[in-house]
Amino acid sequence: RVSWDRLQPPPNLLDRGWKIFEEVDSTNEPLGSNSIQVRVKRGVDVLEEASRMVAQLDLFSRNEELEEIATADLKYLLLPALLGALIMKQTSRDKRLEIVQTARDYFMDFLRRCREYNISQFKLPNPTNANTNLVSMGAQRQAKIERYRQKKLLEARLSDMRRAVDSGQADDEVSRDFYLLNVQRWITVCLEEIESIDQEVEILGKMDVLRQCPVKQPIRPSHHPIKPFILTKDAVQAQVFGAGYPSLPTMTVDDWYEQHRKHGALPDQGIPRKVAAKEDTDVQEMEEEEKEKKAENDDEESLLKARNWDDWKDTHRKGYGNRQNMG
């Protein structure tokens, strides 16, 4: 292995890229703005350059234990995690699938390295588009809740330690704990990001299928435009007076009636004649019944008046009530 003392060390590259990520992650400026995307691109370039230098120096080896890594080198474990997080900040819609897949590769590289050093106990995510069932979904939900709780605890501890590390007053033990806690925090972040990426990749795949197979629009029946016309009482009037507007066709009432009759558009068309006849018969019968009832009522009323008059004559002598001939 080659030490940083023999080559130009890249701590400034890592610190610059890390700082760019924190600024972009906490800004209130729209992520898609040109200034933010320029900074994202600059941060990705800086971290990629640092990653190439770390690879050339063979800084990490599978044959060593975590305790063998120097405290100053621990933070370089974060390079792929920071790279993946910055790449996820890119907003190019045309390259979205490529962006999330590249970020996932960086996250998985970081998680595999952490597993090799046994930094934390966790399960590596399944390959993209792996089938899941209800049991696995329940387990994922529980794991997500636990990761969230752990991340909050780690962030609280890191907040207290950051001031001492940034000021240069932290000793080797505090600095080592600080970087290991950062690695543990990024493990939870990467697991959450991969879960989100897998869901997005599935959605992007479905959208791509829909774009390749556009939905056919229903064919609407064509309607002939309705030509305006003016009704006239008869053909003679149409010939003599016309419509008043040479561009408008004229039509007599008979012509209009005949045209609508052919198309079945008259009010009485479509009604069976038998039904119409039956309805007329029913109406006539009802009218006859009304007349008979009225006649019966009239007869009863006349009979009652006649009986009352006879009774009155029986009890009153002729001329009763006539006071004009009184002496």
Q: Could you tell me the domains of the chain?
A: 4-125+141-212 (1.25.40.540)
Q: Identify which of 57, 113, 59, 105 has the alpha carbon closest to the alpha carbon of residue 83.
A: 105
Residue from 261, 239, 266 nearest 250 by CA: 239
Residues 14, 50 contacting (CB under 8 angstroms): yes
Measuring CA to CA, which residue among 190, 22, 3 is closest to residue 113?
190
Q: What is the pLDDT of residues 185-235, one digit of tens each?
A: 999 999 999 999 999 999 988 887 777 776 666 666 655 554 544 444 555
The DSSP code sequence of 84-144 is: HHHHTT---STTHHHHHHHHHHHHHHHHHHHHHTT-S---PPPPTT----HHHHHHHHHHH
246 vs 152, more confident: 152
Q: What is the mean pLDDT of the chain?
A: 77
Q: Please, how many CA atoms are within 13 Å of residue 149, restricted to the half-sphere of its CB?
A: 6
* Cβ atoms within 10 Å, residue 33: 12
Banded model confidence at residue 4, pLDDT cuts 50, 70, 90: very low
Contact present, 194 and 121 (Cβ < 8 Å): no
pTM for this model (two decimals): 0.60
DSSP code string of 285-313: HHHHHHHHHHHHHHHHHHHHHHHHHHHHH
- Alpha helix segments (H runs only) across 117-247: 134-166, 172-212, 235-240
Residue 69 DSSP symbol: S
Q: Give the pLDDT confidence of 253-277 residue by residue, as tens digits.
A: 677 777 777 777 666 555 444 444 5
